[in-house]
Amino acid sequence: MEGSRILLRDSTDPAIFRAAVWGRVFNACRDLSRVPFAVCKARTVADIVAAVELAKAKICRVSVRAGGHSWAAWSVRQDAVLIDVENLDLDLGRDRIDYDDKTNIVSCPPGITGRMLNEFLATVNRMFAGGHCPDVGLGGFLLQGGMGWNCKNWGWACESVVAIDVVTTDGKQLLCNTTEHPDLFWAARGAGPGFPAIVTRFYLKTRPLLQMWQNLYIFPISEYKKVLQWEIEIAPTVDPDTEMVGVSSFIPLTDGKEAELTILANFTTFKPSLKEATVALAPIHAAVPSGAKISVFCQPTSFEKEYAQQIKTYPQGWRYCSDNAYISPNCTDIVGVLEESFSGLVGQKSCALWFSMNPRSMRDHKGEEMALSMQSDHYFALYTVWEDEKDDQKYQGWVADMMKKVERYSVGSYLGDADFRVRRTKFWSAEVGEKLREVRRKWDPEGRICGFLDEGDKSGVNGLRNDFEWEGS
């Protein structure tokens, strides 16, 4: 459209339009049959309002992209107006991110990444416990809850959201918090892509900037049972500034040798001094099981080092299939339930992950102002990575097989590592799921926001069913 930042499908050079649609999609495994009606590369809130008005005039839906690892590319929807907020407020320069030193609140548009935000906050000795991957925009990450740094202790990233600016489906600009439009604010903390408005700015609580140290232990996969059981048992006792993870992946343990399947136990602590970090990590080191091929104690690290490692772990331009489950606290053999997924991993770049959510998962969340309501002590995820399209069925089929063996031991799943087209499961408690439907119907009665991409893209204003495939069978 002349004089605007909106590219129309029927009047834009096909190569330019294709780049606008797919150029920022992380997963190379794509459904190219989905073609939006238009793409708005928004730089101002006025651009977003114009895109919403276009969608209303053309009776189109609206999708939003902040930029992340959306495995199913939720932002690319047939005949929709795709609003890409990567460059929203870019013309404000450094003021694009605003920090209030009286309240320690930072505000930023949804296209800002965790790395960008923490680079800015470091200049004022603050930090934000955002995503572990540096290239993920805050928009989708925060809307789906945000499993950020040390969330097992500090809480979900969305719990640090104190307000949002939005554009509604009728083009109104609103501030939402616990007193103004509290139902929209509630939905913004856990609704995911089903949020019935477009966030243009987040207001976030920050934390004092801390230093980072880690213990790292890498074992051959033959030690899987011993290592994961150890991590599960010590999780409730680990220092409250320390996150922990168990990962199965292919790592070269000997110089010049091929990578072999390993089980890694990693503990990262956030402390103001080496002395305090040593106190936090020493009990873990003293209790580590025998058999580690690599053992590291209290090694200094940083956001930048960790971000660089995440980019290596999840490389751009590859094909991905991911799925996940919160394992029920009633499961008596978590190690056994996950064994085949960890020990039978396919693909040299794939990984299986166990992430401790205890003690945050033990807290009673009733009465809290957020839609996020699905969690347990044990988070499990598969990130399956391959390069060649001819292998799609092999890798996707393996993930499906593994999840069939795990899902009946779960209480539900996390929105961020899910593909709603593939498997039906729970993402919220029954009560929250119904409330979310009501909020969506109130604020978006026509289903203007694309919402959840289920099989056939048919969920509409009702959203996901929020139940297990086998329920009622």
What is the tens place of the pLDDT at every residue in 280-320?
999 999 999 999 999 999 999 999 999 999 999 999 889 99
For residue 2, pLDDT over 50 is answered with: no
Quick check: 326 and 337 in contact, CB under 8 A? no
pLDDT of residue 365: 62
453 assigned to some structural domain: no
For residue 434, pLDDT over 50 is answered with: yes
Q: Are 370 and 265 contained in the same domain?
A: yes
Quick check: 270 and 211 in contact, CB under 8 A? yes
End position of a domain, from candidates 385, 402, 417: 417
Q: Are 248 and 388 contained in the same domain?
A: yes
Neighbour count for residue 99 (Cβ, 10 Å)? 17
Quick check: 133 and 144 in contact, CB under 8 A? no
Q: Are 192 and 216 contained in the same domain?
A: no
27 assigned to some structural domain: no
Q: Which residue has the higher pLDDT, 367 or 251?
A: 251
By DSSP bridging, strand 62-65 and strand 81-84 are parallel
End position of a domain, from candidates 369, 396, 417: 417
Q: Are 195 and 234 contained in the same domain?
A: no
pLDDT of residue 309: 94
Neighbour count for residue 298 (Cβ, 10 Å)? 19
Q: How many CA atoms lie within 13 A of 55 on its CB side?
A: 31
In order of 55, 314, 320, 387, 400, the CA distances from 392 in angstroms are 34, 17, 9, 9, 12
What is the tens place of the pLDDT at every residue in 186-242?
999 999 999 999 999 999 999 999 999 999 999 999 999 999 999 999 999 999 999
* pLDDT tier at 367, thresholds 50, 70, 90: low
* pLDDT tier at 364, thresholds 50, 70, 90: low
Q: Are 316 and 391 contained in the same domain?
A: yes
By DSSP bridging, strand 378-386 and strand 351-356 are antiparallel
Query: Residue 273 is part of which domain span?
Result: 211-417
Does the predicted model carry a pTM greater than 0.75?
yes
d(C-alpha 248, C-alpha 44), whole Å: 43
% of residues, the chain, pLDDT over 70: 97
Q: What is the CATH number of the domain that holds 100?
A: 3.30.465.10
What is the tens place of the pLDDT at every residue in 157-183?
999 999 999 999 999 999 999 999 999
Q: Are 201 and 275 contained in the same domain?
A: no
Q: What is the CATH number of the domain that holds 380?
A: 3.40.462.20
pLDDT of residue 471: 78
Q: Are 203 and 226 contained in the same domain?
A: no
431 assigned to some structural domain: no
Per-chain mean pLDDT for the chain: 95
255 assigned to some structural domain: yes
End position of a domain, from candidates 145, 176, 208: 208
Tally of domains in the chain? 2
Phi-psi region of 298 (alpha: psi -120 to 50; beta: other; left: phi over 0): left
Quick check: 142 and 157 in contact, CB under 8 A? yes
Q: Are 268 and 403 contained in the same domain?
A: yes
Q: Are 244 and 377 contained in the same domain?
A: yes
Instruction: Report DSSP state, residue 71.
Output: T
d(C-alpha 266, C-alpha 361), whole Å: 20
pLDDT of residue 401: 97
pLDDT of residue 3: 43
130 assigned to some structural domain: yes
Stretch 400-413: mean pLDDT: 96
Q: Are 174 and 260 contained in the same domain?
A: no
